[in-house]
């Protein structure tokens, strides 16, 4: 019995029986609602090809930096986990051995959202009935491997099985979106849409900037030798993304600094970037100006603008040099919003055609800056707790610090922001439980009544996100 994997039906609810009872009622009212996933990083190729996933390690472990950053912190090398190197140096290729290593260290995840998601995934998605331990590792591996061979575990079937009504990928601005075209032309009813991510061509400090710009030139058929043509190319791609269902853009900037440059100044920096001579200050100014340009374009074309600031990417140079991007070494930093966004909000914040969703990795900004901003500007909504704060306690802290000032209706519901397809139902289930519990606490303290809580839990699960991302508009 000690090794049996059991998910308590009241998990994540308050220990107080009164709050727990209210939370359970609220949760059951939204438990089966379709999932709206408006921002994530799953591969569109999965859905265009619809091939079986290869094995548990390739699906669950190797792509997931939540998992291997924890293991690396405890001395487990990325090579031993099969993470590919940039130069092709061999790494562990025995996926059963990698899984065994993961199981040997699974105890490290106690109390983390990763453990909560994985336990749900094992139990609900794969029908595993035993805890993952060193002893059970390979039996569970074989069980999951056998499940993955079944038709109901193919990518498209997974969306249908878990009622994922819409799923947005995140795609480079220069991409020709071949897999999205294939999905559209296949006649399949599943709704997989792209999101326009221009960082690769708007951040001139990136070592791959000129390469990305060349790809954008090929994709659009434009000779991008001036800033004006660069802007034309981005506007053309945004229209193309919209034609394949996109409703949003996404900007992963270091800071939300915005500044409008003159056309002459923007052209000068652009030409220096082409020549490889732009300095750090100019790169910062160019990114700030491009956020203004992106906001202007959003007013024109209606795409919802998302800003994800505050992550110092690739903090560990050794890991970046050896393994590349997205290997768990991105670290949050202090972020300022009020002054940084003032130029953008002064120019576009009162325009009824503009929609902006803000995220933060700096929780100190919730009550000091973000809630007051969202509680005033009609264009602005606050995204859900992101990345390191997409957790039980992180969600609680966000609600506690935001709602009294901004209210519920100036937030954008929930998004899972994940590369791990099979964790999507787990992440949404956890969010629904935490929101139900938060609302139950308000009911128990007579701040809202139960009927209001029923309306709000529906909105937090379904209504707010569909409106914030304009998913009913197409």
Residue 329 lies in a domain: yes
Indicate whether 232 and 297 sit together in one domain.
yes
Mean pLDDT for the stretch of residues 435-462? 98
Q: Of 96, 129, 153, which marks where a domain is finished?
A: 153
Tell me: do 95 and 172 sit in the same domain: no
Q: CA 296, CA 338: separation in Å to the nearest integer?
A: 19
Residue 212 has pLDDT above 70, yes or no: yes
Confidence of residue 473 (pLDDT cuts 50, 70, 90): low
- Residues 61, 47, single domain; the answer is no
Q: Where does a domain end: 93, 118, 153?
A: 153
Q: Which residues pair with 193 in a beta bridge?
A: 168
Do 44 and 58 sit in the same domain of this protein?
Answer: no
Percent of the chain topping pLDDT 70: 99
End of a domain among 120, 153, 186? 153
Residues 62 and 44 in one domain: no
Q: Give the domain extent around 139.
A: 53-153
Collapse the DSSP code of 452 into the 3-class scheme (helix H, G, I; strand E, B; otherwise coil) and give the result.
helix
Residue 328 reports pLDDT greater than 90: no
Kindly state the average pLDDT of the residues 449-474.
94
Residue 474 has pLDDT above 80, yes or no: no
- Burial of 148-175, coded b for 16+ CB within 10 Å and e otherwise, reads beeeebbbbebbeebebebbbbbbbbbb
Residue 215 has pLDDT above 80, yes or no: yes
Number of domains in the chain: 2
What is the rounded average pLDDT of the residues 117-126? 96
One domain, residues 139 and 215? no
pLDDT reported for residue 262: 98
Q: Which whole number is the average pLDDT over 223-245?
A: 98
- Reading the block at residue 409, the tokens are 């209706």
The CATH number assigned to the domain holding 323 equals 3.20.20.140
Query: In 3D, which of 353, 465, 472, 369 has the Cα closest to residue 413?
Result: 465
Q: Which residues pair with 358 in a beta bridge?
A: 307, 382
List, for residues 40-71, the tens digit of each pLDDT value: 999 999 999 999 999 999 999 887 888 989 99
- pLDDT of 390 > 90? The answer is yes
Rounded average pLDDT over 189-197: 97
In a domain, 473, yes or no: no
pTM of the complete model: 0.96
Residues 437, 311 within the same domain = yes
Residues 448 and 412 in one domain: yes
pLDDT of the residue at 1: 46
Contacts for 94 with CB less than 8 Å, ≥ 6 apart: none
* 352 within some domain: yes
Mean pLDDT, residues 409-427? 95
Structural domain includes residue 176 = yes
Dump pLDDT digits (tens) for 242-280.
Answer: 999 999 999 999 999 999 999 999 999 999 999 999 999
In this structure, the answer to whether residues 42 and 57 fall within a common structural domain is no
Q: Give the model's pLDDT for residue 325.
A: 82
């Amino acid at each position: 019995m000690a090794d049996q994997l059991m998910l308590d039906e009241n998990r994540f609810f308050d220990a107080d029986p009164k709050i727990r009872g209210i939370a359970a009622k609220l949760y059951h009212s939204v438990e089966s609602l379709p999932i709206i996933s408006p921002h994530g990083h799953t591969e569109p190729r999965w859905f265009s090809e619809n091939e079986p996933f290869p094995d548990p390690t390739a699906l669950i472990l190797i792509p997931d930096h939540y998992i291997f950053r924890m293991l690396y912190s405890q001395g487990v090398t990325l090579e031993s986990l099969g993470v590919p190197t940039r130069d092709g140096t061999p790494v562990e290729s025995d996926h059963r051995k990698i899984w065994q290593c993961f199981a040997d260290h699974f105890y490290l995840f106690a109390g983390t959202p990763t453990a909560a998601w994985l336990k749900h995934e094992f139990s609900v998605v794969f029908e595993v009935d035993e805890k993952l331990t060193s002893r059970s590792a390979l039996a569970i591996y074989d069980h999951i491997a056998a499940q993955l061979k079944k038709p109901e575990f193919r990518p498209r079937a997974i969306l249908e099985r878990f009622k994922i009504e819409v799923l947005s990928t995140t795609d480079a601005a220069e991409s020709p979106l071949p897999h999205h075209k294939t999905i559209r032309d296949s006649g399949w009813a599943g709704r997989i849409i792209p999101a326009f991510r221009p960082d690769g061509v708007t951040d001139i400090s990136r070592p791959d900037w000129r390469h990305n710009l060349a790809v954008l030139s090929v994709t659009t058929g434009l000779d991008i030798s001036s800033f004006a043509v660069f802007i034309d190319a981005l506007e053309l791609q945004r229209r193309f993304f919209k034609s394949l269902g996109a409703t949003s853009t996404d900007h992963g900037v270091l800071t939300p600094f915005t500044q409008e440059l003159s056309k002459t100044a923007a052209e000068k920096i652009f030409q220096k970037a082409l020549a490889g001579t732009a300095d750090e200050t100019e790169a910062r100014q160019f990114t700030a100006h491009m956020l203004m340009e992106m906001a202007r374009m959003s007013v024109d074309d209606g795409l919802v603008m998302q800003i994800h600031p505050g992550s110092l990417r690739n903090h560990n140079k050794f890991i970046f040099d050896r393994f590349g991007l997205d290997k768990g070494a991105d670290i949050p930093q202090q972020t300022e919003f009020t002054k940084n966004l003032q130029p953008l909000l002064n120019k576009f914040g009162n325009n009824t055609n503009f929609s902006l969703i803000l995220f933060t990795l700096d929780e100190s900004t919730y009550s000091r800056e973000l809630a007051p901003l969202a509680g005033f500007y009609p264009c602005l909504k606050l995204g859900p707790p992101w990345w390191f704060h997409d957790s039980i306690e992180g969600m609680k802290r966000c609600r506690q610090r935001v709602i009294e000032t901004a209210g519920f209706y100036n937030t954008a519901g929930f998004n899972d922001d994940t590369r791990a397809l099979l964790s999507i139902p787990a992440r949404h289930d956890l969010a629904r439980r935490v929101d139900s519990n938060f609302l139950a606490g308000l009911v128990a303290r007579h701040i809202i009544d139960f009927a209001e809580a029923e309306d709000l839990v529906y909105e937090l699960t379904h209504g707010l996100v569909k409106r914030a991302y304009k998913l009913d508009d197409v």
